[in-house]
Structure formats: structure tokens, C-alpha cells
Structure 1
């Protein structure tokens, strides 16, 4: 018993959200959980081993974190500090107002994504893009307000929590999990550093509960789809396959269905991520790497006319390997989350993995260094929490959304402008 207590005491001394622990922990956990596929790997013929690129990515990330930590690197102020220091808050108010207006337009024009998948996938792209500025601004404005409080009473904590909850509910109506997850995780990290340290044992408990809730949220979206709408059809590809192949597919489906749907839903996103990464590796073996075009698509989506999003490109890549077998990895009209290692591997294989994970390690470690320089109770903590949240969620989603890249850029730039040069 005494040994167990000593273990938990040591466990709780770990800084839960340091770049050495949090991102690598979620990364390893995500792909470990994906191994429990309940027959889905066999159904989609997963034949590429994903663990070498995953291992290389982890080693490169930790090496980059260690390098930036050892050198005590931080982001420069880019010469803007003397002009803009103390004024970045005004930009946040402006961004929040723009986001609020766009959100209200969507709401009053019936664009409530949670009502049906067909609605969620057809939200006005420009309004949806700009409405994200609302929750982004609210997170940073609330953090700034909390940091300026001389006496953060329970009543004030409750008031700020209610404001955050209202924004959560607003974006739940849009039907997207990612903004909710970013808001919650950023708030969780800020709470840990600024208000009360969260013990690692408590964090692990909350992580399990949240993982289940978000998985079941996705499951709820699927089971509540209106299947009478063409967009929500669940038919396979219109191709001719041999009777032998059809019988084989049916046997595999029966094997999958031995596990209840709600059980499969618990780790369905992780399993899909594993399948997609393996299929990306298979696709690049056959057709070569995209060599930058995937990431160029992040910016081309804002150009006039119809543009193909990076996730649509990934969908076409992975589906092309299974359509002839009468299967879709991702149904038509939907897009595929490639995982972060998947998007890097699609671009340049192991070179892409090395570059991408090195950038992640350097960015998080440099922001963490600035938190330590400025003091835990500083604006830098909010920026570090936000970027950590985005990077962590991108393990599944990939980092292919222009709005998130712009938000990360703003967080880094504003942190550099507002930094306090002192050691704690």
C-alpha cells in the first residue's frame, strides 16, 4: 500500500502539460488504442506497418523539444513589441466581434450543423471560417481577464465558467467536435497553470471520460442521420465484384458486427486514423508523394471558385484503394482526417515526418520556455495552452485548416509581443 502511495506521489509531480509529456503521451495512447480494431483492419486490408514512421516522428519530436529546452530558445518579438505591447487585446475584441456577427448570421439562416450531417457539411464556408474567431477570442479574453484579477473569488470563477459554457453550447450547435475540444483542452491547461494544478492521476481520469464523450458524440451524429437524404446514403460503391469477393466481404462484416456498435464507437476514430495512415503509405508506394500540393491546398481553398480541400484529396487517395473492392473508407461527400503523421507522409514520406515533428517539438518547447521566463501566471500560458491543444488534436485531424494555422500564428506573435523578459 505504501509503495502504491509513493508511486502516485511521484506520478503527480510530473508537469502534466509539459512538451516532454503531454503531446507524446496522447500520441502514443492514440495509436495504441487504435490497435483494438475489432476486425476492421482485415475488412480494409490494412497491410502497411505504421509503427516505423510513428516511432521516427516521436524520436524527432522529443529531440527537438530537448534541443530548444537546452538552448533556452524563445520566439523573438519581430521588432513589434515596442509598438504593440499591451495592445494585442484590442485585436482580440475585434476578432471576437467579427466572429459573433458571422455566427449569428449562420444561426438565423438555419445553419445548425448538429441537426443533420448534410447540414453540417454544407455550412457557408466563409461564415463558418470567420465564426471560429468568436471562440478563439473568448478563450484569450477570458484568460487575460482572469490573469488581471487580484482576487479570483469562487463567484468570479463560476461567472467565467458560465461564459465559457455558453460558447461551448453555441459551437456544439454547429456539430463540430474540434472547436469544442480545443476550447476545453486550452481551458483545462490554463486552469492547471493559473488557478489550480491538476494532478496527473486526476488528469488521466478526466481524459478517459472526455475520450468516451467525444467518441460517443461522433456515434450520436451517425445514428441520428436522416438516411432518406441522398447525402446520408450508406450504399457501397457502384462497382461489379466477383461472388467470391462479395462473400468474403460479408464474412468480414459479420465478424465486425460481433462487437456492438457502441463498443466500436469508443475507439472508432483512432482505428480509422490508423487505417488512413496505412492506406496513405500504400498509396504513396504506388503513386508517389504529393510533394507539397497537399499543404498548398490549405491556402488555395480561400481562392474564388470551387477548390479541392486537402482532406478531400486525402479522401480520394484512400478510397481509390478500396472502391474496386466495393468499399468506402470515407463515404462520398465527406472528408478524411489524415492524422498528423499521415499528412506529412503523404507529402514526403519519412522526410516529411522528420520536418513536421521537428517543427512541433521546437514550437512547443520555445513557447514553454517563454512561459517559464514570464512566469506561470502570464499571457504566455494561454498561448502555450492553445497551441498545445491544436497540436494534440491534430494527431487525429491533421493540421490542414487555414483558420487554425492563422490562430497559431497569432498566438505565437502576440506571445512574443507581450513577453516579459525575466527568469522565475
Structure 2
């Protein structure tokens, strides 16, 4: 018992959210949890090992972090010092635009957290603009917490309640990613501004959050309106040999021996593992997409019908499983490729190295600004937000134009406000 306590004490001394720890720890934990697949690897014939790509990603990330940390580099002000101090007004403007778009959608009846098909009915332009509400809300609330020098328990409850209302508002739109980003951002702000979060507490929190969103996904699955074409669960209409059909049925029976809600606890990470493996298998046979996936980030906003990057991932992974009588992802659904899969599909190991070095460099540049300016500054908000998006993107991939714009805005405003506390007003 004493030995265990000593180990927990040593673990709790780690700066949980430092660039050297949190993101690579989360990445390795994500894929470690995916190893408890309950026969799903066998069901989808996972034959290609993902671990060379995973370990290369971690090493590349550390190289980026280490170089920037040792050099002490930070983002320059980009020659925009003249607008320093006006950041808060830009954020409020974004909040206003987002609020108008959000409530316009809400009055149109587009709200449901139990049915993912609600996304199909959302107006693309209004949905895009409405995301500015949670983005600006996170920044404004975080700044208020940082600048409040008399942070009483009552005020913390009030801020937490406002944050909770904002999260529920976007849970109604059928998207979980903004909620997870808000949660991670809040944790980082709490860690650096209010009270240090020990690693043991973080692991407990991550477990609770993971269970909550897994059960939410389970609730969605069992409450889907199957009469809606978007929720069609039919498998490929292909002819299997008697042996193939029997093998498929046997494996499905093995999978179903584990209760569905138990499989749902780590279903997201198992799916991420399967998709990454299938992407690597696909590139062996068909080659890399050569930038097509990343080009789709921009092309989806162009006029006419466009294939989104995640829909392209669905096509890729299903192309390897249709003949076996199974869809990895339903054809009318998008597929999250993981950030490693996103990079690997377009450019293999070389792009994985470049992409994760990019993550490391950006995170370390922001962290250096935090160390210079102090934790009760806008720099902490910027670091928390970008770290959160990068962490969530390890599962979803960084394939949303809006997230690139958000990251750019936060980095730019953090750079031009690279001054002592209370400069953002």
C-alpha cells in the first residue's frame, strides 16, 4: 500500500498539461485502450500493425517540442501591435454572429442529441457560423476566470454553470466534438489558474468523460429512427461462399457475447484503431492520395456537390471490407480517421513526421509564451484551447476548416497580446 501511494505521489508531481506529457500520453492511452477489441479486430480482419506509425508520430512530436523549447522561440507579433487591446471586441463580435446563427437554427427545430441524423438537416452556413458561439464563449469565460482576482466559490459555481449551459446548447445540435474541446480547455484553465490537477484526478476525470460520451453514443444507437435513410444499417449486398458466411456469423456471435454497452465504453478508440489499420492497408495496395484529403478541407466550401474528407475516408476503408460482407462505416456516414490516419492516407510516414512535428512546434511555441507572460494571461487561454483541439484531433483528425480558422485566430491574438497580464481588455 505504501509503495502504491509513493508511485501515485510521484505521478502527481508531473505537470499534467505540459507539452512533454499530455498530448503524447493521451495518444498512447487512446491506442492502448483500443487493444481491448472484444473480437472486433477479427470481425474486420485487422492485419496491418499501426504501432510503427504511432511510435513515429510520438517521436516526431517530441522532436518539435524539444527544439522549440531549447531555443525559447515564441510567435512573433506579425506586425499587428497597433490592434493590441482590441482582441476582446473581436471575440464579442464573433459571439454575436454565432448567437444569431445558433438561435436561427434552433427556432427552425433542428435540435436533438439522441439522433445523429439531425446533422443532415442543419443549414451548412448557419451551422458553420453557430460554432463561433461556443468558440467565443470558451474564450470569454476563460478570460473572465483568469482576470477575476477575487474568485470566490460562488463565482466559480456561476462560471461553471454558464459553461455548462453553453455545452448543453451545442449538445442539442448533435455534435460531441465541441463539448469535448470545451471540457479539455476548462481542465487546462483550472489546472494553471485555479488549482493544479493531479494526474490521478485527471485519469479519473478522463474515465468519467469517456464513459459519459460512450453511453451517449450507445443511447444514440439504440434510439435511432431506422426508417430514416440516414440511419440505414443494411450490410453490403454481396454473395459470400458458405464458408465465408459461416465464418462471419461465428465472429459476429463472438462479438455479441460482450454486452453492447460494454463494447461501447471503448468503441471510439477501437474504431479509430481499425480505421487507421485499414488506411495503412489501403495505401499498400492503392498508394497515397497525395494531398487529396487535405485539399478536401477547402473544396467542401466550394459551390456544387463536394465529397468531404471524412466521407472520403469512409469510401477508402469500406473498399477493403465490402467483399467480406461488412461495412466498417455505414456508407452515408463520415468516418473519423485519427490524425495519424489523416496524414498517412495522404503521404505515408513522411507526412506523419511533418504533421506531428507541426503539432509539437505549435504547442511548444504557445507554452513558451505562457511561461514568459504567466498563467493568468490570455496566453494560457490560447494554449489551453489549441492543446484541446490537437488532443481531440488525435481521434477525429484535423479536417475541419473552422478549426484551422479558430487555431489561427487564437494564435494570432495571443501573439499580438504577448504582454503582461490585464493587457487584453
Asked if these proteins are the same fold (TM beyond 0.5), I'd say yes
Q: For residue 212 of structure 2, what is the aligned residue in structure 1?
A: 213
Query: 2:313 and 2:80 mapped to 1: Cα distance?
Result: 39
Q: For residue 409 of structure 1, what is the aligned residue in structure 2?
A: 408
Query: 2:159 and 2:73 mapped to 1: Cα distance?
Result: 33
Q: For residue 26 of structure 2, what is the aligned residue in structure 1?
A: 26
Bigger drift between 227-236 and 259-268 goes to: 227-236
Query: 2:288 and 2:252 mapped to 1: Cα distance?
Result: 32
SS of the residue 2:113 aligns to: helix
Residue correspondences, number: 421
1:258-297 residue pairs with structure 2 within 5 A? 258-297=257-296
1:44-63 residue pairs with structure 2 within 5 A? 44-63=44-63
Query: 1:143 and 1:118 mapped to 2: Cα distance?
Result: 32
Does the aligned pair in 2 maintain the 1:168–1:180 contact within 8 Å?
yes
Does residue 67 (structure 1) correspond to residue 59 (structure 2)? The answer is: no
Q: For residue 360 of structure 1, what is the aligned residue in structure 2?
A: 359
Query: 1:124 and 1:40 mapped to 2: Cα distance?
Result: 36
Does residue 8 (structure 1) correspond to residue 34 (structure 2)? The answer is: no
Does the aligned pair in 1 maintain the 2:315–2:331 contact within 8 Å?
no
Does the aligned pair in 1 maintain the 2:118–2:173 contact within 8 Å?
no
Following superposition, the deviation at residue 421 of structure 1 comes to 6.8
Does residue 349 (structure 1) correspond to residue 361 (structure 2)? The answer is: no
1:191-270 residue pairs with structure 2 within 5 A? 191-270=190-269
Following superposition, the deviation at residue 335 of structure 1 comes to 0.4
Q: For residue 166 of structure 1, what is the aligned residue in structure 2?
A: 165
Query: 1:30 and 1:358 mapped to 2: Cα distance?
Result: 19
Does the aligned pair in 2 maintain the 1:118–1:231 contact within 8 Å?
yes
- TM-score (normalised: structure 1): 0.97
Does the aligned pair in 2 maintain the 1:60–1:358 contact within 8 Å?
yes
SS of the residue 1:176 aligns to: coil
Query: 1:36 and 1:238 mapped to 2: Cα distance?
Result: 30
Bigger drift between 146-155 and 255-264 goes to: 146-155
SS of the residue 2:144 aligns to: helix
Does the aligned pair in 2 maintain the 1:96–1:138 contact within 8 Å?
yes
Following superposition, the deviation at residue 205 of structure 1 comes to 1.1
SS of the residue 1:53 aligns to: helix
Does the aligned pair in 1 maintain the 2:35–2:270 contact within 8 Å?
yes
Does the aligned pair in 2 maintain the 1:319–1:329 contact within 8 Å?
yes
Bigger drift between 66-75 and 6-15 goes to: 6-15
Query: 1:382 and 1:61 mapped to 2: Cα distance?
Result: 22
Following superposition, the deviation at residue 115 of structure 1 comes to 4.6
Following superposition, the deviation at residue 332 of structure 1 comes to 2.1
Bigger drift between 399-408 and 109-118 goes to: 109-118
SS of the residue 1:191 aligns to: helix
For each residue in 1:270-297, what CA deviation from the matched residue of structure 2 results, as whole angstroms up to 9, or x when unmatched?
Answer: 1100000011011111111111111010
Q: CA RMSD in A?
A: 1.3
Q: For residue 40 of structure 1, what is the aligned residue in structure 2?
A: 40
1:59-98 residue pairs with structure 2 within 5 A? 59-81=59-81, 83-98=82-97
For each residue in 1:288-309, what CA deviation from the matched residue of structure 2 results, as whole angstroms up to 9, or x when unmatched?
Answer: 1111111010011111111111
Q: For residue 17 of structure 1, what is the aligned residue in structure 2?
A: 17
Query: 2:415 and 2:229 mapped to 1: Cα distance?
Result: 49
Query: 1:10 and 1:116 mapped to 2: Cα distance?
Result: 44
Does the aligned pair in 2 maintain the 1:113–1:123 contact within 8 Å?
no
Query: 2:112 and 2:96 mapped to 1: Cα distance?
Result: 22
Following superposition, the deviation at residue 5 of structure 1 comes to 3.3
SS of the residue 1:121 aligns to: helix
Following superposition, the deviation at residue 151 of structure 1 comes to 1.2
Query: 2:3 and 2:241 mapped to 1: Cα distance?
Result: 61
For each residue in 1:134-185, what CA deviation from the matched residue of structure 2 results, as whole angstroms up to 9, or x when unmatched?
Answer: 0000111112222222311222212111111110110111121101000111
Query: 2:46 and 2:11 mapped to 1: Cα distance?
Result: 36
Query: 1:121 and 1:320 mapped to 2: Cα distance?
Result: 24
Bigger drift between 9-18 and 392-401 goes to: 9-18
Q: For residue 307 of structure 1, what is the aligned residue in structure 2?
A: 306
SS of the residue 1:210 aligns to: helix
Does the aligned pair in 2 maintain the 1:113–1:121 contact within 8 Å?
no
- TM-score (normalised: structure 2): 0.97
Query: 2:7 and 2:48 mapped to 1: Cα distance?
Result: 38
Give the ranges of 4+ consecutive aligned residues of structure 1 lying more than 4 Å apart after TM superposition.
none
Does the aligned pair in 2 maintain the 1:114–1:120 contact within 8 Å?
no
Following superposition, the deviation at residue 52 of structure 1 comes to 0.4
